[in-house]
């Protein structure tokens, strides 16, 4: 049962990721990416990481991708990838390269098999993450806030028109 | 909830997604799409982290994912601002035109 | 002014002249709106018929005697005079006469007030509802200049007629200020119920409405089916120069030799030395100059009787009402395999036609006529054609396109330009140079 | 496996109940909206639709609307992206519909020997779930705006996106206070937490513990549903907005999504701030008033009372949202943005700080 | 602007209070009405086809053609009203009177009430005081009126009407609509 669900979701995830890189229209690409993020969130749910699933949807799908779609809408009219591509042969090399990379990673996974299953332990809820976040990872957490602040300032500086 | 699906399935899916992301970055010309492909790669990495975390009964992976998300948000904000700023001035949307910083 | 108004009734709302009355205009301009006259007005006869066309209202008359002078000096018939004295004077007929000369309608035009009114126009429409357009009288070969007065906005007036009256238009070289009564009241056919409004096709005993496109292919096929010698065309001198020219082109292209325009009327028209011409057609000269008199109409009919001509194409004429024996004509019409009729109104001839093409009447289109002296004069469109009727030049243009693949003229002016270029008599003429007064054709040409 | 079957049927029953409840409420809201507006404005309101002369105060108007919308022409603009164009209204409605799943409408009820929490989706981060679904609703709007190939629609979509981001930031920040007070992301736990008594007599509802958050959440919530006074994305007097090109049932779905989102926001408000299904002093065994009186009640009536309380609160909340909708004029776009970023957001942060301080001083731990 | 106003909350609340008061008051009235108190009205709406708002006594909405002492219409078919009519709703067909003193009469005079805007210009334009507008109600029921938009407020002349192209002939049997306030026509 769970395996079937997993494969269904995985199929959606892979298909939407492929859709992203195949479709010419960036809006379609962005919407495919949203689907992809949603299916990854579903997989988080299957991995019992409920907080992450919700955060994934809220942050990624709800905020980041909205930003993307917004930017595409602002920029795109008449600027799709059209016209001849001078670097087309080089680009097509990327496909076997990607395939090669995939094989490589999968080989690594096969060579190093997963450890044996253990009984369920830590809960994937907000409490466990919160506890870790504010004890072991307090310093990185604070660093993140500094990073966000820096990003905020940077974006404002970029977006503001020259006076 | 018991893991009924072998953990390697999740990491496998993560690998596939990562490879697709890499291909997207290499194949596409539109910087926005490249950016989105990077997001796919980040996601694949996140998925791997969560899967490993679940295997080892450890929430650290999830915390890491949380950080990745935060960083991704910041990165997207800055990146999009840069792209918008550049392509306000240009007629075409292609990374090949962005050679001003090459020398 | 005041004296004029002492006995003039103040019934402008009822008076037919209101709106084009000089007394009213002066009154409004200089007006003494408070009358100082307290006595009763003198009452005189009202609504006295003077003749077949004119009615007199003696109360409104200001005794200018223009009408009397007209009858004395222009028509030299002298029916009218002023009778009585002082404020009892009034216009009247000499005993035993009536105002029945051929130009009697003109007294209505020259009357400055509403004393003389037109029986035909009286109470039909108020003059401020009218629009007018310059035109040419199609009644005879003189080609008098006229104005067509049109009532478009109040269709319930004047029994729905669109043309409500014709007025002469001054042209010193042609008709001065006058027109004859025959021309003045000769507009009835324009709004007559007998008007043809749709292309018709008669198959067996049934008449079918067809569209113009179908009609053009039908006619073009019909013309192509016969050899040039099997086609006979009877053009009409009622057609404008533009129509005739396009017809000439068409006939020329087909190589048809049996073409004529002369059909003698049953009663020969009278003629006088003033305006009226015996030839009751406006454009016989034009048809002659453009060269449509290649053959003899009677001979064409005879050929049709002998079954040598199989396709007969008649424009406007009612051949059955011509001077020719009715039996012979009927025989010819029944003998021809295909009879095409093109005209404004249905008549006895059109009843025998297999294909009927409705044509626009002269106020519905524009064009030029060449009068008997060779003066080319222009008439203009006053309103849209009735139903689907098309000006002859338009339908002929479409036929030219269908038969010969030639370009179709989109305006009458285009046809005339081609005419001026092709026919030497018309060389140098253009709509612009014709203007309102007309222009003589190049002298010395046939 | 009879157990699994029972589980499945219970789950199916809950989902069906919530689905029907929300959908019918959303459908009824067109009627509520018309009638309430009419009564507020000294009018009678739509009452003409009749079946065999039966008018029922205009209750047939939603039906008539549905028939009209279903029979209208499905129009596609010439240069529209047809797939996205057709998909957009469904996306909108879908996320509005599923968002309600995690809102509890009653305490646990024992059915067939197991304790069943009365909510369609038992989820330990339920609050985040509702929030996430609401935030996904924006995609329907943006897809509609973009795929219509119409500049006004695009502008409407962009306004909607910006507005919803603004509102969601404020919502997210304002509910943190509530989460801190009740110590859970699970809506069921939050509601249960509101059953406690403050000082022995005052129910510890969110509106009492978090008054500032209540105002902020309500404001941001209205903004997130794009209803008046925050309806700049669809301001009919200026740009009409993302659904300019829509007609028939597709348009109807957008309106439906609007109403459903209103229901969800009302449900969230009730759950977070108005005690959810809690009836004051009503515990599992019956009423226990602070002055000592008790009324003992069996479990089933208690559960029914609780569900009724939730529905009642929800309806009152919807009434209140409608009241706001028919009272306030529309904000200008920049005013709304200013309000969101310079008003609601900083105040929410301040609320978090205040709550933290208060918890440190008087908190349980 | 005062800072308190900028916060806007007080204004919002007072506005909500106002609308809520209206809501509850009207709701109470509606309920009272439903319970049988007929004079309780929660709305100012008039349910039009069933209810009517009374016409003002000063309303002049019924055209009336005035007659001479001998009963013939005063109208002389001068077309002044037809000319001035901004709605083009008056149709007059003129005819000749056998008495040359009267000369011109209207053979048919019809007003298309479906087009009429009741501006009263025709009354002002008439030089003969032949048309007036009286108090009175146009049609008994608006639906009935909609069904016959061309209700003729007309009079037939002394002549039998001759066939005219526009279908606006007056009913030959009923000479004039009953005027509610008969005045001496003079």
Is A61's Cβ below 8 Å from some Cβ in B? Answer: no
CATH of the domain at C104: 3.30.70.20
- Please give the tally of structural domains in chain C: 3
Which of C251, C249, C293, C258 is CA-nearest to residue C419?
C249
Say how many Å lie between the first and final Cα of chain B, rounded: 56
Residue C23 to chain E, least CA–CA distance (Å):
18
| Cis preceding linkage at D229, omega within 30 | yes
Touching status, chains C and D (3+ beta-carbon pairs under 8 Å): no
- Residues from E contacting C (CB-CB < 8 Å) are 76-80, 82-83, 91, 93-96, 100-101, 103-104, 127-128, 164-166, 168
CB nearest to C123's CB, from E82, E94, E166: E94
Token couple for A114: 């997963």
Residue A33 to chain D, least CA–CA distance (Å):
12
Q: Residue A138's CB: how many other CB atoms inside 10 A?
A: 11
> Tokens 């309380």 appear where?
D309
Query: What is the maximum span of chain E, computed from C-alpha positions, in angstroms?
Result: 88
Q: Is the pLDDT assigned to residue E144 strictly greater than 70?
A: no
Q: What torsion, rounded to 10 degrees, do the Cα atoms B24, B26, B28, B32 define?
A: 70
The residue range of the domain holding C212 is 200-440
pLDDT attached to residue C378: 93
pLDDT digits (tens, 9 = 90+) for E4-63: 667 778 888 899 999 999 999 988 888 888 888 877 777 788 887 777 777 777 777 778
Q: Which of C80, C96, C118 is the last residue of a domain?
A: C118
pTM of the model: 0.66
For residue D132, give the chain A residue with the closest CA: A58
Residues C23 and C112 occupy one common structural domain: yes
Answer yes or no: is A56 within a domain. Answer: yes
CB nearest to E103's CB, from C14, C18, C129: C14
Across all residues in chain E, what is the average pLDDT?
71
Q: What torsion, rounded to 10 degrees, do the Cα atoms D88, D89, D94, D97 define?
A: 150
Residue E118 to chain D, least CA–CA distance (Å):
29
Distances in Å between the Cα of D88 and the Cα atoms of D144, D225, D246, E121 are 5, 16, 10, 56
pLDDT attached to residue E186: 33
List of residues 6+ apart from C249 with CB closer than 8 A: C400, C406
Answer yes or no: is C446 within a domain. Answer: no
CB nearest to A27's CB, from D146, D161, D162: D146
Distance, CA of A104 to CA of A98 (rounded, Å): 10
Asked if E76 lies within 8 A of C14 by C-beta distance, the reply is yes
Residue E32 to chain D, least CA–CA distance (Å):
14
Cα of D130 vs its chain's centroid, Å = 9
Is A11's Cβ below 8 Å from some Cβ in B? Answer: no
The residue range of the domain holding A27 is 1-79
Return phi, psi of residue C182, to 5°: -60, -45
pLDDT digits (tens, 9 = 90+) for C24-75: 999 888 877 787 877 888 888 888 889 899 999 988 999 999 999 999 999 8
Is D342's Cβ below 8 Å from some Cβ in E? Answer: no
Interface predicted TM-score (ipTM) = 0.60
Q: Tell me which of D257 and E150 has the higher pLDDT.
A: D257
Residues C179 and C241 occupy one common structural domain: no
Q: Encode A71-81: b = buried (16+ Cβ within 10 Å), e = exposed.
A: bbbebbeebee
Answer yes or no: is C19 within a domain. Answer: yes
For residue E18, give the chain D residue with the closest CA: D327
Distance, CA of B80 to CA of A68 (rounded, Å): 7
For residue E110, give the chain C residue with the closest CA: C156
Distance, CA of C387 to CA of A157 (rounded, Å): 73
Asked if D43 lies within 8 A of E20 by C-beta distance, the reply is no
User: Where are the alpha helices (H) located in A47-137, listed in sequence order?
Assistant: 50-55, 65-75, 88-111, 126-134
Interstrand relation of C338-343 and C355-358 (parallel, antiparallel or unpaired) = parallel
- Determine the average pLDDT of the residues in C329-354: 89
pLDDT attached to residue E177: 40
Distance, CA of D250 to CA of D243 (rounded, Å): 9
Q: Is the pLDDT assigned to residue E147 strictly greater than 60?
A: no
Q: How confident is the model at residue B93 (pLDDT cuts 50, 70, 90)?
A: low
Helix (H, G, I), strand (E, B) or coil at D167: helix
Helix (H, G, I), strand (E, B) or coil at C244: helix
Token couple for D247: 């007609």
Q: Which of D7, D94, D99, D132 would you mutate first to test chain A, the one with the most A CBs within 10 A? A: D132
Q: Is the pLDDT assigned to residue E175 strictly greater than 80?
A: no
Token couple for C84: 């009585």
Report chain A residues whose CB lies below 8 A from the CB of B73: 59, 63-64, 148, 151
- Please give the tally of structural domains in chain A: 1
Helix (H, G, I), strand (E, B) or coil at C133: strand
Residue D224 to chain A, least CA–CA distance (Å):
12
Helix (H, G, I), strand (E, B) or coil at D249: helix
Is D101's Cβ below 8 Å from some Cβ in A? Answer: no
Q: Residue C407's CB: how many other CB atoms inside 10 A?
A: 10
CB nearest to A95's CB, from B17, B27, B70: B27
Q: Encode C212-236: b = buried (16+ Cβ within 10 Å), e = exposed.
A: beebbebbbebbeebeeebbbbbbb
User: Where are the alpha helices (H) located in C128-269, listed in sequence order?
Assistant: 181-184, 212-225, 241-254
CB nearest to B32's CB, from A60, A68, A123: A68
- Determine the average pLDDT of the residues in D344-355: 92
Chains touching C, CB cut-off 8 Å, 3+ pairs: E
Report chain D residues whose CB lies below 8 A from the CB of E45: 42-44
- Determine the average pLDDT of the residues in B31-60: 86
Residues 77-116 of A with CB under 8 A from B: 79-81, 83, 85-87, 91-95, 97-99, 101-102, 105-106, 109, 113-115
Chains touching B, CB cut-off 8 Å, 3+ pairs: A
List of residues 6+ apart from D237 with CB closer than 8 A: none
Answer yes or no: is C445 within a domain. Answer: no
Asked if C156 lies within 8 A of E93 by C-beta distance, the reply is yes
Distance, CA of C157 to CA of C169 (rounded, Å): 24
Which of C365, C349, C84 is CA-nearest to residue C234?
C349
The answer to whether D104 and D117 are in contact (CB under 8 A) is yes
Distance, CA of C122 to CA of C244 (rounded, Å): 38
The answer to whether D266 and D87 are in contact (CB under 8 A) is no
Q: Is the pLDDT assigned to residue D1 strictly greater than 50?
A: no
| DSSP code for E114 | T
pLDDT digits (tens, 9 = 90+) for C177-208: 999 999 999 898 998 889 999 999 988 788 88
CB nearest to E165's CB, from C13, C124, C155: C155
Distance, CA of C8 to CA of C3 (rounded, Å): 9
Residues C220 and C172 occupy one common structural domain: no
Distance, CA of B33 to CA of B40 (rounded, Å): 10
Touching status, chains A and D (3+ beta-carbon pairs under 8 Å): yes
Asked if C14 lies within 8 A of E83 by C-beta distance, the reply is no
Q: What torsion, rounded to 10 degrees, do the Cα atoms B42, B45, B47, B52 define?
A: -160
- Determine the average pLDDT of the residues in B18-34: 86
Helix (H, G, I), strand (E, B) or coil at D58: helix
Residue A156 to chain D, least CA–CA distance (Å):
14
Cα of E78 vs its chain's centroid, Å = 24
Element of type H or E holding E14? helix E9-34
Is B86's Cβ below 8 Å from some Cβ in A? Answer: no
DSSP E132-149: EEESS-S-SSHHHHHHT-
Answer yes or no: is C419 within a domain. Answer: yes
Count of positions (residues) in chain E: 186
CB nearest to E16's CB, from D36, D39, D324: D324
Is D215's Cβ below 8 Å from some Cβ in E? Answer: yes
Chains touching D, CB cut-off 8 Å, 3+ pairs: A, E
Answer yes or no: is C379 within a domain. Answer: yes
Residues C157 and C266 occupy one common structural domain: no
- Determine the average pLDDT of the residues in C317-337: 88
How many helices (H) and strands (E) in chain D?
12, 6
pLDDT attached to residue D363: 67
pLDDT attached to residue C369: 93
- Residues from E contacting D (CB-CB < 8 Å) are 9, 12, 15-16, 18-20, 22-23, 26-27, 30, 42-45, 47
Asked if A81 lies within 8 A of B93 by C-beta distance, the reply is yes
Residue C14 to chain E, least CA–CA distance (Å):
5
Asked if C155 lies within 8 A of E166 by C-beta distance, the reply is yes
Q: Tell me which of C116 and E44 has the higher pLDDT.
A: C116
Domain boundaries, chain B: 8-92
Answer yes or no: is A138 within a domain. Answer: no
- Determine the average pLDDT of the residues in D220-230: 86
Asked if E166 lies within 8 A of C45 by C-beta distance, the reply is no
Helix (H, G, I), strand (E, B) or coil at C225: helix
Asked if A60 lies within 8 A of B69 by C-beta distance, the reply is yes
pLDDT digits (tens, 9 = 90+) for C295-306: 888 888 888 888
Residues C103 and C204 occupy one common structural domain: no
Q: Which residues of chain A have pLDDT under 70?
A: 76-87, 112-125, 161-163
Q: Which of C93, C118, C143 is the last residue of a domain?
A: C118
Residues 310-329 of D with CB under 8 A from E: 323-324, 326-328
Interstrand relation of C231-234 and C54-56 (parallel, antiparallel or unpaired) = unpaired
pLDDT attached to residue C377: 93
Q: Encode D106-139: b = buried (16+ Cβ within 10 Å), e = exposed.
A: bbbbeeeeeebbbbbbbbbbbbbbbbbbbbbbbb
Cα of C122 vs its chain's centroid, Å = 21
Element of type H or E holding E1? none
Q: E strands within D253-327?
A: 286-288, 294-296
- Determine the average pLDDT of the residues in B91-95: 67
Asked if A49 lies within 8 A of B78 by C-beta distance, the reply is no
Touching status, chains B and C (3+ beta-carbon pairs under 8 Å): no
CATH of B8-92, one of 3.40.30.10, 3.40.50.300, 1.10.287.3510, 1.25.40.10: 1.10.287.3510
Residues C183 and C209 occupy one common structural domain: no
Q: Which of A71, A129, A148 would you mutate first to test chain B, the one with the most B CBs within 10 A? A: A71
Residues C250 and C288 occupy one common structural domain: yes
Element of type H or E holding C402? helix C392-404
The pLDDT > 70 percentage for chain E reads 70
Interstrand relation of C231-234 and C258-260 (parallel, antiparallel or unpaired) = parallel
CB nearest to C160's CB, from E82, E103, E165: E165
The answer to whether E112 and E91 are in contact (CB under 8 A) is yes
Across all residues in chain D, what is the average pLDDT?
85
Q: Tell me which of D265 and C4 has the higher pLDDT.
A: D265
Q: Residue D28's CB: how many other CB atoms inside 10 A?
A: 16
Asked if B43 lies within 8 A of A40 by C-beta distance, the reply is yes
Residues C411 and C376 occupy one common structural domain: yes
Asked if A58 lies within 8 A of D128 by C-beta distance, the reply is yes
Which of D305, D243, D267 is CA-nearest to residue D191?
D267
CATH of the domain at A10: 1.20.120.1200
Q: Which of E98, E100, E110 would you mutate first to test chain C, the one with the most C CBs within 10 A? A: E100
Helix (H, G, I), strand (E, B) or coil at D210: coil
CATH of the domain at C400: 3.40.50.740
Q: What is the 3-state secondary structure (H, E, C) of D104-129?
A: CCEEEEEECCEEEEECCCCCCCHHHH
CATH of the domain at C153: 2.20.25.90
């Amino acid at each position: 049962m769970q395996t079937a669900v997993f494969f269904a979701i995985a199929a959606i995830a892979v298909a939407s990721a492929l859709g992203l890189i195949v479709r010419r229209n960036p809006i379609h690409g962005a919407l495919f990416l949203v689907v992809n993020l949603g299916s990854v969130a579903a997989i988080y749910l299957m991995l019992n990481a409920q907080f992450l699933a919700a955060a994934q949807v809220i942050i990624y799908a709800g905020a980041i991708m909205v930003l993307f779609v917004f930017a595409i809408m602002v920029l795109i009219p008449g600027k799709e990838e059209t016209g001849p591509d001078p670097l087309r042969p080089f680009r097509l090399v990327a496909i076997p390269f990607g395939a090669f990379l995939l094989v490589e990673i999968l080989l690594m996974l096969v060579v190093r098999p997963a450890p044996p299953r253990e009984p369920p332990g830590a809960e994937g809820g907000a409490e466990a993450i919160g506890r870790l976040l504010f004890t072991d990872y307090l310093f990185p957490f604070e660093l993140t806030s500094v990073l966000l602040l820096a990003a905020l300032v940077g974006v404002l500086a970029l977006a503001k028109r020259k006076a | 909830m018991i893991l009924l699906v072998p953990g390697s399935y999740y990491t496998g899916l993560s690998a596939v997604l990562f490879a697709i992301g890499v291909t997207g970055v290499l194949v596409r010309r539109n910087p926005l799409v490249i950016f989105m492909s990077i997001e796919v790669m980040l996601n694949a990495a996140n998925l791997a982290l969560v899967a490993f975390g679940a295997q080892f009964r450890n929430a650290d992976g999830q915390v890491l994912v949380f950080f990745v998300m935060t960083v991704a948000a910041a990165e997207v904000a800055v990146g999009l601002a840069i792209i918008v700023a550049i392509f306000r001035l240009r007629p075409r949307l292609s990374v090949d035109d962005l050679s001003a910083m090459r020398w | 002014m005041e004296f004029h108004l002492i006995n003039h009734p103040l019934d402008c709302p009822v008076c037919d002249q209101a709106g084009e009355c000089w007394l009213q205009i002066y009154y409004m301009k200089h007006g003494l709106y408070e009358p100082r006259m307290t006595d009763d007005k003198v009452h005189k006869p009202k609504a006295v018929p003077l003749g077949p066309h004119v009615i007199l209202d003696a109360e409104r008359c200001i005794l200018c005697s223009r009408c009397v002078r007209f009858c004395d000096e222009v028509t030299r018939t002298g029916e009218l005079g002023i009778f009585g004295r002082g404020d009892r004077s009034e216009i009247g007929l000499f005993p035993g006469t009536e105002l029945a000369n051929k130009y009697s309608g003109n007294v209505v035009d020259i009357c400055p007030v509403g004393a003389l009114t037109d029986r035909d126009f009286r109470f039909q429409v108020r003059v401020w509802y009218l629009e007018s357009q310059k035109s040419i009288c199609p009644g005879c070969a003189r080609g008098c200049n006229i104005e067509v007065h049109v009532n478009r906005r109040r269709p319930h007036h004047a029994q729905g007629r669109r043309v409500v009256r014709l007025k002469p238009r001054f042209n010193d070289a042609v008709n001065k200020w006058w027109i004859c009564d025959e021309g003045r009241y000769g507009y009835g056919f324009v709004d007559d119920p007998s008007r043809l409004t749709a292309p018709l096709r008669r198959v067996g005993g049934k008449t079918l409405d067809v569209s113009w496109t179908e009609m053009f292919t039908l006619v073009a096929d019909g013309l192509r089916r016969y050899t040039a010698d099997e086609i006979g065309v009877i053009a009409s001198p009622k057609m404008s120069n533009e129509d005739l020219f396009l017809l000439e082109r068409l006939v020329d292209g087909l190589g048809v030799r049996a073409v004529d325009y002369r059909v003698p009327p049953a009663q020969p028209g009278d003629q006088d030395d003033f305006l009226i011409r015996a030839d009751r057609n406006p454009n016989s000269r034009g048809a002659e100059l453009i060269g449509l008199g290649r053959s003899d109409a009677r001979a064409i009919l005879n050929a049709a009787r002998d079954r040598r001509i199989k396709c007969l194409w008649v424009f406007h004429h009612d051949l059955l009402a011509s001077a020719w024996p009715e039996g012979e004509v009927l025989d010819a019409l029944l003998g021809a395999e295909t009879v095409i009729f093109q005209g404004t109104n249905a008549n006895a001839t059109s009843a025998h036609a297999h294909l009927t093409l409705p044509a626009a009447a002269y106020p519905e289109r524009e064009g030029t006529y060449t009068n008997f002296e060779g003066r080319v004069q222009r008439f203009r469109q006053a309103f849209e054609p009735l139903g689907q009727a098309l000006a002859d030049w338009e339908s002929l243009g479409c036929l030219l396109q269908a038969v010969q693949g030639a370009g179709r003229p989109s305006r009458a002016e285009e046809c005339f330009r081609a005419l001026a270029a092709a026919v030497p008599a018309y060389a140098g003429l253009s709509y612009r140079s014709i203007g309102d007064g007309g222009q003589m054709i190049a002298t010395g040409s046939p | 496996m009879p157990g699994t079957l029972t589980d499945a049927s219970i789950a199916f029953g809950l989902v069906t109940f919530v689905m029907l409840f929300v959908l019918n409420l959303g459908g009824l809201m067109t009627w509520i909206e018309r009638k309430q507006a009419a009564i507020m404005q000294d009018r009678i309101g739509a009452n003409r639709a009749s079946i065999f002369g039966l008018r029922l105060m205009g209750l047939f108007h939603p039906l008539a609307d549905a028939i009209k919308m279903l029979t209208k022409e499905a129009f596609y603009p010439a240069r529209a992206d047809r797939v996205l164009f057709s998909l957009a209204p469904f996306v909108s409605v879908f996320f509005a519909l599923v968002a309600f799943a995690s809102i509890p409408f009653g305490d646990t009820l024992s059915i067939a020997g197991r304790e069943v929490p009365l909510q369609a989706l038992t989820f330990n981060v339920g609050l985040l779930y509702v929030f996430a679904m609401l935030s996904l609703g924006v995609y329907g709007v943006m897809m509609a705006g973009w795929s219509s190939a119409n500049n006004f629609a695009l502008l409407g979509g962009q306004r909607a996106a910006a507005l919803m981001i603004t509102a969601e930031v404020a919502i997210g920040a304002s509910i943190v206070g509530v989460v801190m007070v009740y110590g859970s992301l699970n809506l069921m736990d939050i509601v249960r937490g509101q059953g406690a008594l403050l000082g022995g007599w005052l129910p510890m509802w969110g509106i009492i513990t978090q008054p500032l958050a209540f105002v902020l959440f309500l404001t941001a919530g209205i903004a997130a549903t794009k209803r008046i006074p925050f309806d700049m994305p669809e301001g009919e007097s200026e740009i009409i907005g993302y659904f300019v090109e829509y007609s028939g049932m597709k348009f109807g779905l957008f309106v439906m999504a609007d109403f459903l989102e209103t229901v969800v926001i009302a449900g969230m408000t009730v759950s977070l701030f108005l005690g959810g299904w809690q009836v004051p002093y009503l515990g599992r065994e019956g009423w226990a008033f602070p002055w000592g009186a008790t009324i003992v009640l069996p479990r089933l009536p208690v559960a029914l009372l609780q569900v009724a309380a939730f529905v009642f609160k929800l309806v009152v909340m919807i009434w209140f949202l409608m009241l706001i909708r028919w009272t306030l004029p529309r904000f200008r776009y920049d005013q709304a943005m200013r309000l969101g970023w310079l008003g609601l957001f900083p105040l929410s942060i301040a609320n978090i700080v205040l709550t933290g301080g208060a918890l440190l001083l008087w908190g349980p731990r | 602007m005062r800072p308190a106003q900028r916060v806007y909350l007080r204004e919002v609340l007072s506005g909500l209070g106002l609308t809520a008061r209206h809501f509850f008051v009207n709701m109470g009235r509606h309920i009272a009405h439903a319970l049988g108190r007929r004079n309780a009205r929660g709305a100012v709406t008039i349910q039009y086809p069933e209810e009517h708002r009374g016409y003002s006594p000063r309303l002049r909405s019924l055209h009336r053609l005035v007659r001479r002492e001998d009963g013939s219409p005063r109208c002389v078919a001068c077309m002044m009203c037809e000319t001035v009519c901004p709605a083009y709703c008056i149709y007059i067909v003129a005819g000749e009177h056998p008495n040359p003193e009267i000369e011109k009469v209207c053979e048919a005079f019809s007003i298309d009430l479906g087009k009429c805007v009741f501006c009263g210009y025709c009354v002002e334009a008439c030089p003969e005081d032949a048309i007036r507008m009286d108090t009175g109600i146009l049609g008994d029921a608006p639906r009935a009126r909609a069904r016959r938009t061309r209700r003729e407020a007309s009079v037939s002349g002394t002549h039998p009407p001759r066939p005219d192209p526009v279908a606006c002939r007056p009913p030959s049997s009923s000479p004039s609509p009953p005027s509610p306030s008969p005045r001496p026509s003079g």
